[in-house]
């Protein structure tokens, strides 16, 4: 095959409700769709940074710039047409993991479609229904939190995750346990606490949580090790599990007992699978997190989550949970708390021309 064309499309879709974590709040979802064409076949990936510095230093503007100025010219120069060849380009170029993920995952879709096989098969997984977990941001008061959980639990989600920060942790958790009993429950702090908060975080042991996700800053693996030694609840790394080297170090330091894998954070599916394999060898369970991405990125997360080391419900939810619309057909749906990947090749979900046209912010086409 010959690399014929790469198209970037920036879309922005309103959220049905604002999403707030300890780092800030967003009301719209930006994504950059990456369409790669070779040999008459097209593959689609998604670069899915949040606006501002909500989650990382990558933003829609910086990712667009890096793709247009660095990664796409490098892909054409190398005449990349496969997952292996594009990863060689990305390894040489380095830089923005979100931009890398958008381009790299498009090549995974392209390669799987060329073979006529679903993406999970290329990754080494199996088509099994995947348990979906409900994620709830920080709300304006406990009654709003309880109402949101109650509304969406009716759809059968297999666990509840709430965002926490200092001053918003013990109180909400106590109310959730009183209202919903022993439902599977976890918390995510997005690095909002410090080592000085370890005595307070020990209070979370009393709530029977599945895990405490990223309680301390991203680069504080030593602090996470101290916390894990002080609490019974498993500590899960998210932002701190930024690449294979960081995960190996965290395992060696006993900084966590669970790892969240996000395709965007680690720069693509090959890196995500490598981290899965490292954790599996060490006996560390993993699970598939989200930004949340729009449908292309979410679908690829589902394929990744079919690998055997993924032991907890994914954060991928129904398309209608967060977004006014989505960029795929069919939409992702949760039935009985599970998501089933449809039959097909590659992502197994098709880009929705209608939705992409409606929510397009910018588009640019590149040719050799």
Query: Do residues 185 and 49 share a domain?
Result: no
210 pLDDT band, cuts 50/70/90, is very high
pLDDT at 93 over 80: yes
Q: Is residue 95 part of a domain?
A: yes
The CA distances from residue 99 to 61, 126, 202, 331, 340, in Å, are 11, 27, 38, 24, 28
Contact between 134 and 153 under an 8 Å Cβ cutoff? The reply is yes
**Which pLDDT belongs to residue 18?**
78
22 pLDDT band, cuts 50/70/90, is low
Query: Do residues 105 and 236 share a domain?
Result: no
For the stretch 109-120, what's the b/e string if a residue is b when 16 or more beta carbons lie within 10 angstroms of its beta carbon? bbbbbbeeebbb
The continuous run of DSSP H or E covering 47 comes out as strand 41-47
Query: Do residues 209 and 104 share a domain?
Result: no
243 pLDDT band, cuts 50/70/90, is very high
**Which pLDDT belongs to residue 54?**
59
Query: Do residues 60 and 169 share a domain?
Result: no
**Which pLDDT belongs to residue 157?**
92
As a whole-number percent, the residues of the chain with pLDDT over 90 amount to: 91
Q: Identify whether 330 is preceded by a cis peptide bond (ω within 30 of 0).
A: yes
pLDDT digits (tens, 9 = 90+) for 107-154: 999 999 999 999 999 999 999 999 999 999 999 999 999 999 999 998
Query: Do residues 199 and 322 share a domain?
Result: yes
The residue count of the chain comes to 368
In the predicted model, what is the mean pLDDT of residues 37-65?
89
Domain extent at residue 110 = 3-117+350-366
**Which pLDDT belongs to residue 27?**
86
**Which pLDDT belongs to residue 53?**
61
Query: Do residues 36 and 108 share a domain?
Result: yes
Catalytic residues: 163, 262
Q: Is residue 344 part of a domain?
A: no
pLDDT at 173 over 80: yes
pLDDT digits (tens, 9 = 90+) for 260-281: 999 999 999 999 999 999 999 9
Q: What is the pTM of this model?
A: 0.96
Query: Do residues 101 and 132 share a domain?
Result: no
**Which pLDDT belongs to residue 23?**
65
Strand 3-21 with 24-38, pairing: antiparallel
Please report, for the domain that includes residue 359, its CATH number.
3.30.390.10
pLDDT at 52 over 70: no
Query: Do residues 169 and 265 share a domain?
Result: yes
Q: HSE (CB half, 13 Å, CA atoms) of 33? A: 30
Taking phi over 0 as left and psi of -120 to 50 as alpha, with beta for the rest, 313 belongs to beta
Query: Do residues 183 and 137 share a domain?
Result: yes
Q: Is residue 51 part of a domain?
A: yes
Q: Cα 32 vs. chain centroid, distance in angstroms? A: 15
Range in 52-66, 76-90, 103-117 with the lowest mean pLDDT: 52-66
Count of structural domains within the chain:
2
Q: Which phi and psi (to 5°) does residue 366 adopt?
A: -120, 135
Interaxial angle between packed helices 269-282 and 97-115, expressed in degrees from 0 to 180 and rounded to the nearest 10: 90
Contact between 39 and 2 under an 8 Å Cβ cutoff? The reply is yes
Q: Is residue 204 part of a domain?
A: yes
pLDDT digits (tens, 9 = 90+) for 185-208: 999 999 999 999 999 999 999 999
Q: Is residue 89 part of a domain?
A: yes
């Amino acid at each position: 095959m010959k690399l014929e064309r790469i198209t970037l499309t920036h879309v922005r879709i309103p959220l049905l409700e604002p999403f707030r974590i300890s780092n800030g709040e967003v009301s719209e979802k930006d994504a950059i769709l990456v369409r790669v064409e070779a040999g008459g076949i097209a593959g689609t990936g998604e670069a899915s940074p949040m606006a501002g510095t909500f989650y990382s230093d990558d933003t829609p503007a910086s990712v667009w710039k890096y793709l247009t100025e660095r990664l796409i010219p490098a892909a054409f120069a190398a005449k990349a047409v496969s997952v292996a060849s594009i990863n060689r380009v990305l390894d040489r170029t380095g830089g923005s993991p979100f931009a890398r993920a958008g381009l790299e995952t498009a090549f995974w879709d392209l390669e799987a479609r060329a073979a006529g096989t679903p993406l999970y098969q290329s990754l080494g997984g199996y088509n099994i229904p995947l348990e979906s977990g409900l994620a709830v941001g920080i709300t304006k008061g406990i009654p709003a939190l309880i109402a949101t959980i109650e509304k969406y639990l009716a759809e059968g989600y297999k666990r509840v995750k709430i965002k926490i920060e200092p001053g918003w942790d013990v109180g909400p958790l106590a109310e959730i346990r009183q209202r919903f009993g022993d439902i599977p429950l976890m918390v995510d702090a997005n690095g909002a606490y410090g080592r000085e908060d370890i005595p307070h975080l020990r209070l979370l042991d009393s709530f029977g949580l599945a895990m405490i996700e990223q309680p301390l800053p991203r680069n504080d693996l030593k602090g996470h090790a101290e916390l894990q030694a002080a609490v019974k609840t498993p500590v899960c790394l998210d932002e701190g599990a930024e690449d294979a080297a960081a995960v190996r170090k965290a395992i060696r330091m006993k900084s966590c007992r669970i790892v969240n894998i996000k395709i965007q954070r680690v720069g693509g599916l090959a890196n995500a699978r490598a981290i899965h394999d490292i954790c599996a060898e060490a006996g560390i369970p993993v699970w598939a997190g989200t930004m949340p991405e729009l449908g292309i990125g979410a679908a690829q997360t589902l394929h990744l989550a079919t690998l055997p080391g993924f032991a907890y419900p994914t954060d991928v939810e129904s398309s209608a949970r967060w977004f006014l619309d989505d960029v795929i057909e069919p939409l992702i749906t949760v039935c009985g708390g599970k998501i089933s990947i449809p039959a097909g090749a590659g992502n197994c979900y098709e880009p929705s021309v209608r939705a992409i046209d409606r929510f397009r912010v910018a588009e640019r086409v590149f040719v050799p």
